[in-house]
Amino acid sequence: MTKWVYSFGGGLNEGGADMRNLLGGKGANLAEMASIGLPVPPGFTITTEVCSAYYENGNSYPTDLAEQVAAALHRIEHAVGLTFGDSKAPLLVSVRSGARVSMPGMMDTVLNLGLNDETVEGLAKSSNDERFAWDSYRRFIQMYGSVVMGVPHHRFEDILEQAKHALGVTDDTAVKANDWREIVESYKEIVLKETGKPFPADPQEQLWGAISAVFGSWMNPRANTYRKLHDIPASWGTAVNVQAMVFGNMGNDCATGVCFTRDPSTGENIFYGEYLVNAQGEDVVAGIRTPQPMSAERATPDQSPMEKVLPNAYQELMRVREILEKHYRDMQDIEFTVQNNKLYMLQTRSGKRTAAAALKIAIDMAREGLITQEEAIGRVPPASLDQLLHPTLDPKAEKNLFARGLPASPGAAAGAIVFSAEEVEEYAAQGKDAILVRIETSPEDVHGMHAARGVLTTRGGMTSHAAVVARGMGRVCVAGAGSIHVDYKAQTMTVGSTTLKGGEWITLDGGTGAVYVGKVPTIPPTLSGDFSTLMGWADEVRRLRVRANAETPDDAETARRFGAEGIGLSRTEHMFFGPDRIGHVRQMIMADDPTTRKKAIDALLPFQRDDFASIFRIMSGLPVTIRLLDPPLHEFLPHGEAELEEVAKALGQSVDALRARRSALSEANPMLGHRGCRLGISYPEIYAMQVRAIIEAAILVSKETGEAIIPEIMIPLVGMKTELDVTRKVAENEIAAVFKEQNTTLDYLIGTMIELPRAAITADQIAQSADFFSFGTNDLTQTTLGLSRDDAGSFLPYYVDHGLLPKDPFVSIDREGVGALVRMGVEGGRRTKAKLKLGVCGEHGGDPDSIAFFESVGLDYVSCSPFRVPVARLAAAQAALAHKKKEAATS
């Protein structure tokens, strides 16, 4: 015989916290609380298996269910000494849904079930409180009528409001027994009118009606939608809990409340919550009366904290709070009721909390000895650290919403509205704060984005250029705020009838996507205290090193401050866009003979050397990987006529000749075009110059600081060993020349990106010519899936929404495809060189899920944007712990 029903409370606990799959979260924890001796009204749980069986058998129950329910109900009757349906002293129950994970959309709880015209009189007599009995009855009809029978909620509300109006009272508690009697009559009439059926008087019919409504709600549209959005399989099913009622509405020594064992927004170890005297169930959250605080410490003089009003029950609750935290070893979110000064526990679960609270609670609990340091590391979701690393809007400040876009890069920033990158730089040069507002951004805007406090675009998604670059830089970004109309010419942006002009201030909240008019005050992040403690603990257990992707001194400094252990990717081309360089870059590209080209290249050398020297200085003592020129040349080309003329003048060529060269350079598919090492092979002098700049800078800074600098020179987009051989030769020749000129030497590494499938497949060959590999998983994802990130916006979201892909492969690595190639590259590389240094750079290096994967394939380091360094440190620690646990389990 299958056991469909599990009892809890009243001396028999058949379930426990570890049975959440079978009993749902609520039922499992009610049994757990009862079994550790906490005061839980007795009840039983109908398992999630009944739900599955119910749907498999065409909405009918297992035949022996009724018998098991009857037996369990009998146990409740026995435990509390009352009988269900008894006209003198009736047992009343609540019927509560409860899935594995708490799920909106499920049926609301029905309280006071078992009341009818007869039993209500019994309850009035046995409680000696007529008002209470009728208050309970009207609540029951209202709840059952709406959630089980489908009568619109406001029908009941209207009746109650009219009645209160007629009586001249505002508070429910002021309504007297006789008035409730009349209201109950009107309620029953409205049920009959709305449903064509009388309100059921038979308690058994009521009970099964409510149970069926819970199971029925599992498949309602709201629940279905929620499940789809959260990847919850329909097969999980919901459980139903039937529990003896306790009453918080029986007078002024009664109450109901919800609270957290610690403050869920700050994490402070203080009892946090609300309660209401003489109230029932959801009154606290329903906003019928103003709930009061729990602790006297948190109360204002005009409030009535539970600590003062119901001191005995409060002390009991404090005791329970401690027991619960010790037992569950986590902050709990609890629901309770006080009946005649006696406390009853009705729910516990681990409480939702902000990132700040998660951090504080984890550290505090480890210090209190409730959990270990390793557990504390696991208690903070790495991605949530983002919230802690950026200034945030002062929650108390007044705000005037202008528009909403996507929360593309977190933090808060305020500044003047500025519509071009150049103008932003002018603002920055004068020390003024600016927000760059563009319809969308392109590589040319990168300098302006860097100089801006934040970036706002009206087009593009979470992986648009603006979003990716802003995240990389740690700039606040709201992307795709489509309701804003930007007019570059008029220098205005408009939503509806509100128009803001260039120079006026706005504030961006990159955490929510909100754009506010004017300057909203912010509060700064704190990187000390608990944050640095947790980071320290994480660093003790992680194996993966964490480096940063950075090219500007600013970014390198941020990276170091956040604990980066080197630079894993420095993109030299980002330096090409500086206003003092781009002219030379353009001349280099447009030159039609080697001599002119050489002149332009030589002009660039000192700039590049300075760039590298300043990074080496900041990262002194740590490895720095510099990638040689990667993007296709036309990204740097002059756009407008004026720019074209400028370059023509500098080169002494005609504008027409340049125009011809520009169109010759344009490509149908630049991502797969003339870029990466292909450029270094066509124009070896460009790579030679970059290598020279790197080596000269390294020698310079080594001498300056007395610390050895070991530059790591990285060749991009290698697909074959031969490509690496050719470019390596160019680099080595140039390095030898520098050494000879300066009569010195220096250790260096020359390695390659693995970012093409062919490179991963032939990694064993490529390793013969490489000192290290860095997996470029952005390009590897594009080339493995054969899709371009810039064009994927039109179909990729659909793929993710409809489960064709589990996640956006640019955010979290596609383990089965791209991941398999990474694994192949690791194995191939290490077959040739057992100690080959292996890392990853690109967006995945800062994604916790991807980091877990990189841990499992044994990479040496991940490299991510500076602001993700702490995220990566924590994720790497969690991955190492999970890996250790798995090893221990299999050995």
**Residue ranges binding ligand ADP (CB under 6 A):** 41, 94, 96, 109, 111, 243-246, 256, 281-282, 335, 337, 346-347
Q: Which two tokens stand for residue 593?
A: 């003979």
Question: From the list Mg ion, ligand ADP, none, which binds 337 (C-beta under 5 to 8 Å, kind-based)?
Answer: ligand ADP
Chosen from Mg ion, ligand ADP, none, partner binding at 779 (C-beta under 5 to 8 Å by type):
Mg ion
Q: CA neighbours within 13 Å on the CB side: how many for 694?
A: 33
Query: Given CA atoms 310, 311, 314, 316 in this order, what sign does their dihedral have?
Result: negative
Judged by CB under 5 A, which stretch of 324-332, 374-382, 722-730, 771-779 contacts Mg ion?
Answer: 771-779
Residue 567 contact partner, candidates Mg ion, ligand ADP, none, CB within 5 to 8 A by sort of partner: none
Distances (CA, A) of 407 to 397, 411, 514: 20, 9, 8
Cβ closer to Mg ion: 159 or 317? 317
Minimum gap (Å) between residue 281 Cβ and ligand ADP = 4
- Among Mg ion, ligand ADP, none, the one that 68 touches (CB under a kind-dependent 5 to 8 A) is none
Nearer to Mg ion, 522 or 572 (CB): 572
The stretch among 29-37, 341-349, 620-628, 691-699 that binds Mg ion (CB under 5 A) is: 341-349
* Cβ-proximal residues to 655 (8 Å cutoff; 6+ apart), any chain: 641, 644, 645, 648
Q: Look up residue 766 and give its amino acid.
A: I
Judged by DSSP in three states, 22 sits in helix
Does the protein bind Mg ion through residue 130 (CB under 5 A)?
no
Q: Which does 245 bind (CB under 5 to 8 A by kind): Mg ion, ligand ADP, none?
A: ligand ADP
What is the smallest separation between the CB atom of 80 and ligand ADP, expressed in angstroms? 11
Quick one: which segment of 187-195, 286-294, 331-339, 360-368 binds Mg ion (CB under 5 A)?
331-339
Nearest distance in Å: CB 676, Mg ion = 7
Rounded Cα–Cα distance for residues 888 and 891 (Å): 5
Of the pair 316, 630, the CB lying nearest Mg ion is at 630
Shortest spacing between CB 338 and ligand ADP, in angstroms:
10
CB of 575 to Mg ion, least distance (A): 17
781 belongs to the binding site for Mg ion (CB under 5 A): no
Residue with tokens 């919800």: 258
The answer to whether 495 touches 432, Cβ cutoff 8 Å, is no
Nearer to Mg ion, 347 or 392 (CB): 347
Sign of CA pseudo-dihedral 44, 50, 54, 57? negative
Residue 757 and residue 784 in contact, taking contact as beta carbons nearer than 8 Å? yes
Residue 256 interacts with, from Mg ion, ligand ADP, none (CB under 5-8 Å by kind): ligand ADP
Q: Tell me the β-bridge partners of 837.
A: 772
Instruction: In angstroms, give the least distance from the CB of 829 to Mg ion.
Output: 18
CB of 323 to ligand ADP, least distance (A): 19
Closest of 835, 709, 857, 859 to residue 774, by C-alpha: 859
Does the footprint of Mg ion cover residue 116 (CB under 5 A)? no
Residue placing its CB nearer to ligand ADP in the complex, 294 or 709: 294
Q: Which residues contact 203 (CB under 8 A, 6 or more apart)?
A: 84, 85, 90, 113, 114, 116, 119
Q: Which entry of Mg ion, ligand ADP, none binds 539, CB below 5 to 8 A by partner kind?
A: none
Binds Mg ion by CB under 5 A, chosen from 249, 337, 347, 762: 347
Please check whether residue 739 is in contact with residue 703, taking contact to mean a CB–CB distance below 8 angstroms.
no
- How many residues in the shown chain lie near Mg ion by CB under 5 A? 5
Active site residue 465: yes
Residue of 41, 281, 293, 776 that binds Mg ion (CB under 5 A): 776
Which of residues 342 and 485 has its CB atom nearest to ligand ADP in the complex? 342
Q: How far is the CB of 74 from ligand ADP (least distance, A)?
A: 17
**Sign of the C-alpha dihedral, residues 462, 467, 468, 471?**
negative
Dihedral of the CA atoms 242, 248, 253, 255 (nearest 10)?
120
Which of ligand ADP, Mg ion, none interacts with 776 (beta carbon under 5 to 8 A by kind)? Mg ion
Contact flag: residue 249 with Mg ion (CB under 5 A) = no
Calculate the dihedral angle through the C-alpha atoms of 827, 828, 831, 836, rounding to the nearest 10 degrees: -80
Among Mg ion, ligand ADP, none, the one that 45 touches (CB under a kind-dependent 5 to 8 A) is none
The C-alpha atoms of residue 523 and residue 160 are separated, in whole angstroms, by 45
Cα 492 to Cα 322, 479, 495, distances in angstroms = 58, 18, 10
Q: Which is nearer to ligand ADP, 347 or 409 (CB)?
A: 347
Annotated active-site residue in 465, 574, 584, 634:
465
Partner from Mg ion, ligand ADP, none binding residue 246, C-beta < 5-8 Å depending on class: ligand ADP
Q: Given 51, 841, 844, 864, which residue is catalytic?
A: 841
Residue 283 contacts Mg ion per CB under 5 A: no
Pick from 244, 245, 307: which is nearest to 275 by CA? 307
Closer residue to ligand ADP in complex, CB, 31/879: 31
- Which partner from the list Mg ion, ligand ADP, none does 135 bind, CB cut-off 5 to 8 Å by kind? none
The residue (of 661 and 674) whose beta carbon lies closer to Mg ion is 674
Q: Does 32 bind Mg ion (CB under 5 A)?
A: no
Question: Please, which residue, 106 or 436, has the CB nearer to Mg ion?
Answer: 106
Q: Does 779 bind Mg ion (CB under 5 A)?
A: yes
Q: Residue 499 pairs with which residues in a beta bridge?
A: 494
- Binding map of Mg ion across residues 720-759, x = CB under 5 A, - = no contact: -----------------------------------x----
- C-beta of 39: minimal distance to ligand ADP in Å? 12
Contact of residue 41 among ligand ADP, Mg ion, none (CB under 5-8 Å per partner type) = ligand ADP
Shortest spacing between CB 145 and Mg ion, in angstroms: 21
Question: Residue 103's Cα: distance from chain center in Å?
Answer: 18
Q: Which two tokens stand for residue 426?
A: 């002018």
Of 47 and 752, nearer to Mg ion (C-beta) is 752
Evaluate whether 139 touches 280 at the Cβ level (below 8 Å): yes
Give the span between the Cα atoms of 554 and 473, in whole angstroms: 9
Q: Is 601 exposed, middle or buried (0-12, 13-18, 19+ CB in 10 A)?
A: buried
What are 329's two structure tokens? 């070893």
Q: Which residue has the tokens 């909620």?
A: 153
Instruction: Provide, rounded to whole angstroms, the least separation between the CB of residue 841 and Mg ion.
Output: 9
Q: Which of residues 639-678 bind Mg ion (CB under 5 A)?
A: none
Q: Which residues contact 599 (CB under 8 A, 6 or more apart)?
A: 587, 591
Beta-bridge partners for 517: 506
Q: Which amino acid is at 595?
A: T
Nearest CB to ligand ADP, comparing residues 17 and 615: 17
Whether 513 contacts 481, CB under 8 Å: yes
What does the per-residue mask of binding to Mg ion show for 6-25, with x meaning CB under 5 A? --------------------
Cβ proximity to ligand ADP, 120 vs 872, nearer residue: 120
281 interface partner picked from Mg ion, ligand ADP, none, CB below 5 to 8 A per type: ligand ADP
Report, in Å, the least distance between residue 29 CB and ligand ADP.
11
Is 774 a residue that touches Mg ion (CB under 5 A)?
no
Torsion sign over Cα 860, 865, 869, 870: negative
Amino acid residing at 260: F
Mapping DSSP to helix (H, G, I), strand (E, B) and coil, where does residue 407 land?
A: strand
Based on its alpha-carbon atoms, the radius of gyration of the chain, rounded to whole angstroms, reads 34
Instruction: Give how far the C-alpha of residue 759 lies from the chain's centroid of Cα atoms, to the nearest Å.
Output: 33
Residues across the chain: 891
Provide, rounded to whole angstroms, the least separation between the CB of residue 247 and ligand ADP: 7
DSSP-based three-state secondary structure for 146: helix
Q: What's the count of helices (H) and strands (E) in the chain, helices before strands?
A: 34, 33
Q: Which residue is nearest to Mg ion (CB)?
A: 779
Q: Are 271 and 316 in contact (CB under 8 A)?
A: no
Residues near Mg ion (CB under 5 A): 335, 347, 755, 776, 779
Residues acting as catalytic residues: 465, 841
